[in-house]
Chain A
Amino acid sequence: MVPVNYYIILSAILFTIGAVGVLIRRNPLVIFMSVELMLNAANLAMVAFSSVYKSFSGQIFVFFVIAVAAAEVAVGLALIVEIFKTKHNINVDEMNSLKG
């Protein structure tokens, strides 16, 4: 028997760590991984509530979030590869122009 609050607090901590990652890291790949961590923290909260309320809706939304995350990663990594091909560098501080 685990109180649902524990799961929600864990989810809040993981979400905060992901937010810090987005703010302080300069490597777009690590920023991307931090975004995945935040999505995962939100998923954990949704599954915890779905388990408390004995409803499948939360789990089905998590399923959709996982599918959307897969699509997001495919497009995002393609963009990063393309940026690397034009600038030969993926430090986000160097990405300061829209024209390649």
Chain B
Amino acid sequence: MTVDLILFLILALVSVSTALGMLLSRNTVYSALFLVLNFVTVAVFYLLLGAPFIAMAQVTVYAGAIMVLFLFVIMLLGTEVLPASNILPWQKPLAGGLAAVLAVEAIYLLLVRARSVAQVTSPDVAINSMDNLREMGKVLFSTYLLPFEVTSILLLVAMVGAIVLTKKEKA
């Protein structure tokens, strides 16, 4: 048991339990806060995997911007707790069964078919340094320049779309 493995197991436990907390909590505000904690643990996984830029983007964009937007809308609508609905009573057992099938299938395929023995080595000194970020920037602005520009247009379209959707129509 190396330090990495112990850290991974503890964080995996936190991550799965916060995901379950998000799923099972009746109050939407608690769900959102559980999800923030989940995103932060996933950001630590990114650091363990030697991806510091993605970890920081995860914290600022997901745990910061997106979840604040969620909390803002939850509190704006005032629908923290919804009454339990039983229009489709067979839905929950069916969903549970299908989810169990999905999990077993995914894990079976990964363990039996992929049989990967690769180890994620703990990032050496170089990978968490400025050189790493510089190399990533070079790849992002050369090989992936077109997707980057398309993403900027997508963000602009989403911004205009959100404004148009919520704008009051003039009578």
Binding site for B on A (CB under 8 A): 1-10, 12-21, 23-27, 29-30, 32-34, 36-37, 40, 43-44, 47-48, 50-52, 56-57, 59-60, 62-64, 66-75, 77-82, 84, 90-91, 93
Given contacts A33-B22, A44-B42, contact A74 B70 (CB under 8 A): no
Closest to B25 in A: A30
Number of A-B pairs whose CB atoms are under 8 Å? Answer: 226
* Tally of B interface residues using CB under 8 Å: 81
12 contacts between A and B (CB under 8 A): A2-B48, A7-B45, A13-B16, A13-B103, A18-B19, A27-B79, A29-B74, A50-B49, A67-B151, A69-B61, A81-B76, A90-B79
Q: Which of B8, B53, B69, B136 contacts A2 (CB 8 A)?
A: B8
In the complex the two chains form, is A52's CB within 8 Å of B118's CB? yes
Set of chain B residues within 8 Å of A56, measured between Cβ atoms:
135-136, 139-140
